[in-house]
Amino acid sequence: MAANAYLDFDVLARISNMQLLAKVVVEGFLLGLHRSPYRGFSVEFAEHRQYSPGDEIRYIDWKVYAKTDRHYVKQFEEETNLACHIILDASNSMNYRSSEKHPGKLDYAARLTACLAYFIMNQRDAVGLAVFDRRIRELLPARLRHSHLQRILATLDGLKPGGETDIARPLHDLAESLKRRGLVILISDLLDDPDRVLSALQHFRFAGHDLLVFHVMDPAELTFPFETMTEFTDLETDEKTLVSPDGMRPVYLDGLRRFLDRVEKGCVDLRADYKLMNTSKPLEMALSEYLYRRSRMG
C-alpha cells in the first residue's frame, strides 16, 4: 500500500517503531516535494569491512582479496554541505500528556526528531543528536551514514524523561563544542526562563549557526480547558497545587501569551525560525516548516 494511505494522525500515533514512522511520514508525504540544494557531493575512503550478502559488488576491494583471499568492501565517509544538530529536550516537563487522544510531548518530540533525521539524511546532509535535561544525556555527532541513523533511531526508541529542566546550560555546552557551522534544531517545550534560553540560543548565532526552534506544547497547556477544581502536580518537583479554573484561567492565559510573545520575538531578533507545535497536530506540519527553512537556505 502506498505510504500516503497511512498519513492519518491516528494511525501515525500507533506506529511505535521510529524508523517505520519516519519512513511513512517522510517518503509518503514530503520526500518528493523538496530538492536538496546539495552541490558537489563527494566521498572519501574511510575503512574496510568484511563483505556481507547484499553489499554492492562494485565496492569490493580486489587488491585486499588478492592478499587475504577474503572479500572486503570499501566504506566511505560522505562529505556534506550541511551539518545539522538536533537538540532534544527530555526533561520531566516533556512527560506531560493531557489526553489519550494525542501523544505526550516527549513522544511527539521524539517522533518529530526521527522524521527530521530521516529526512535530513535522505537529503544527503549529516545529522547529529543531543538529548538533554539539566545536562547533556546523549550526544551523537553529525554523521552521514546509514548505521549512524540507526543509532539515532535506537536512542529515540529507548528515550525516557529525565530530570529537571535547565535548557540554557546544556545549550551553552553544545555551542562551545560545535566547531563547524551548521543548522541547529532545538525541540523543546521551552519551560524555563525565556531570557536564559534566548541567551543560550544567541551563543549558537555568535558561532555562525542557523537556528530552527520547534516549541512543543500540549493543547491543554495552550487553552487551559479545565472546568472543575483541579490539583496540578509539578512534574519536576512533585509540588501540588489545588486550583479553581475560573479564577486561574485568565491569569494563566495572560502569562502564557506573554511567555509565547517573548520567546517568538526573541527568536525573530536572533533570526531564528520559530514554530509553535501543538501535539494534537500532525507531524507533517513540523516537517513542512523544516522544508521552508531549507528553501530559505538554498
pLDDT at residue 167, as a whole number: 95
Question: Both 202 and 249 in a single domain?
Answer: yes
Question: Both 228 and 277 in a single domain?
Answer: yes
pLDDT at residue 297, as a whole number: 61
Question: Both 154 and 168 in a single domain?
Answer: yes
Q: Cell numbers at residue 119, please?
A: 529526512
Question: Both 214 and 253 in a single domain?
Answer: yes
CA dihedral 249, 252, 258, 262 (to 10 degrees): -140
pLDDT at residue 29, as a whole number: 60
Q: What is the largest CA-CA distance in the chain?
A: 81
Q: What is the pTM of this model?
A: 0.78
Whether residue 99 contacts residue 145, with contact meaning beta carbons closer than 8 Å, is answered with no
Q: Which candidate, 219, 220, 197, places its Cα nearest to that of 274? A: 197
Round to whole Å and give the CA distance between 138 and 87. Answer: 10
Question: Both 176 and 73 in a single domain?
Answer: no
Q: What is the mean pLDDT of each run of 10 residues along the chain (298 residues)?
A: 45 64 67 42 58 73 84 64 90 92 92 89 88 95 88 90 90 93 94 96 94 96 90 81 87 96 97 93 81 67
Question: Both 46 and 101 in a single domain?
Answer: no
Round to whole Å and give the CA distance between 102 and 281. Answer: 8
Question: Both 70 and 161 in a single domain?
Answer: no
Domain that holds residue 59: 42-78
Whether residue 41 contacts residue 123, with contact meaning beta carbons closer than 8 Å, is answered with no
What is the amino acid identity at position 79? E
Q: Structurally, how many domains does the chain consist of?
A: 2
DSSP per-residue letters across 114-174: HHHHHHHHHTT-EEEEEEESSSEEEEEEEE--HHHHHHHHHHHHT----S----HHHHHHH
pLDDT at residue 296, as a whole number: 67
3-state secondary structure of 57: helix
Question: Both 135 and 104 in a single domain?
Answer: yes
Q: Which candidate, 73, 17, 69, 4, places its Cα nearest to that of 45? A: 73
Round to whole Å and give the CA distance between 126 and 141. Answer: 9
Question: Both 65 and 136 in a single domain?
Answer: no
pLDDT at residue 157, as a whole number: 87
Question: Both 120 and 134 in a single domain?
Answer: yes
pLDDT at residue 10, as a whole number: 59
Round to whole Å and give the CA distance between 61 and 73. Answer: 6
Q: Cell numbers at residue 231, please?
A: 490539583
Choosing from 50, 78, 106, the residue where a domain stops is: 78
Question: Both 210 and 147 in a single domain?
Answer: yes
Distance of CA 214 to the CA centre of its chain: 8
Burial class (CB in 10 A: 0-12, 13-18, 19+), 296: exposed
- Domain CATH for 155: 3.40.50.410
Question: Both 181 and 241 in a single domain?
Answer: yes
Choosing from 56, 78, 100, the residue where a domain stops is: 78
